Amino acid sequence: MVRANGAVSLRELARVVQTSEVTVRRDVRALEAEGLLDRRHGGAVLPGGFSREPGYPQKTHLAAAEKSAIADLAATMVAEGDAIVVGAGTTTQELARRLARVPGLTVVTNSLLVAQALAHANRVEVVMTGGTLRGSNYALVGSGAEQSLQGLRVTRAFISGSGLSAERGLSTTNMLSASVDRALVNAAAEVVVLADHSKLGNDTMFQTVASEAITHLVTDEQATLVEPAARELDALADRGVQVQVAPLTPPASFPASSPQDAPRRPATFPGQRRGPVPVASGRR
């Protein structure tokens, strides 16, 4: 399954082999020790940093709670009347769902999933790029997408990727996706990367954004608890990235039943370097 899809969740593995996730987790550890798999939070991927990108169905099951928390926090960085670009990905799709109630918002995107999440938002204008559809992640790529972004200037770009390291920045496994993401970034005054802890320290084939060009990183609190990811956060902060950490449980002051109405606030963790989240735009 991992060879066919590039990645698979522990839940899916347990369902297929008809056993518990505890048993699957133990077996995955053994396979990792033999170099046959690399473990990721909630699943497993092909070994090596340059493995093939998993498809959309597999991505939706990986780090779902973390992506939701990241999207809650990232949504607080968008204000009424903003113009932003939002790239393709399951985390950016979660963000789009939370932006549907921001009045006067203009969202430029190459993602069919982002556009679908905002399709019924009465006060949000959605602008789609041109391009060729890449079916694995429902994104428009190619020269048509890149050309449609020329001359565009917006407040912020919200993008994700397959890996993020201080040394190389954000990267992805597909050349066409990386090229369009660079065009999205070039259109924005600030760059916000959405990356759960499982992507920190990973390095994939095509660079999207250098660390020095990233304004904000929004990640989940697990990144501060796992040593390799925590070291990567410190290294990114040293390069000027403002790190925002989203808690995985909603604060007591917010009703848990309405996360879209009440986005989670970032918690403070020991050693965390966290700058303010300004709403006003400005060129870097």
pLDDT in tens, 176-209: 999 999 999 999 999 999 999 989 998 888 899 9
- Asked if the structure places residue 271 within a domain, the reply is no
Domain residues for 147? 64-246
Pairing status of strand 7-9 against strand 43-45: antiparallel
Max intra-chain CA distance, the chain:
54
In this structure, the answer to whether residues 232 and 136 fall within a common structural domain is yes
Residue 75, domain CATH: 3.40.50.10470
- Asked if the structure places residue 242 within a domain, the reply is yes
In this structure, the answer to whether residues 74 and 162 fall within a common structural domain is yes
pLDDT tens column, 107-157: 999 999 999 999 999 899 999 999 999 988 899 999 999 999 999 999 999
Matching residue, tokens 């969202």: 107
Distances (CA, A) of 64 to 68, 71, 93, 139: 6, 11, 12, 20
In this structure, the answer to whether residues 47 and 87 fall within a common structural domain is no
- Asked if the structure places residue 156 within a domain, the reply is yes
Q: Is the pLDDT of residue 284 over 80?
A: no
Rounded-to-integer distance, Cα 64 and Cα 209, Å: 24
In this structure, the answer to whether residues 107 and 230 fall within a common structural domain is yes
What H or E segment, with its residue span, contains residue 93? helix 90-99
In this structure, the answer to whether residues 20 and 114 fall within a common structural domain is no
Which tokens hold the place of 114?
A: 């982002």
Phi/psi for 28 (5° steps) reads: -65, -40
Which tokens hold the place of 119?
A: 């399709």
- Asked if the structure places residue 264 within a domain, the reply is no
Rounded-to-integer distance, Cα 144 and Cα 277, Å: 33
Q: Which DSSP state fits 212?
A: G
65: helix, strand or coil:
helix
Tell me, what's the pLDDT at 204? 87
Q: How many domains does the chain have?
A: 2
Q: Which DSSP state fits 222?
A: G
Rounded-to-integer distance, Cα 142 and Cα 130, Å: 9
In this structure, the answer to whether residues 223 and 149 fall within a common structural domain is yes
In this structure, the answer to whether residues 220 and 108 fall within a common structural domain is yes
Mean pLDDT of 50-59: 50
Tell me, what's the pLDDT at 250? 55
- Asked if the structure places residue 256 within a domain, the reply is no
Whole-model pTM?
0.71
Which tokens hold the place of 170?
A: 């954000």
Residue 45, domain CATH: 1.10.10.10
In this structure, the answer to whether residues 44 and 161 fall within a common structural domain is no
Matching residue, tokens 């397959």: 162
29: helix, strand or coil:
helix
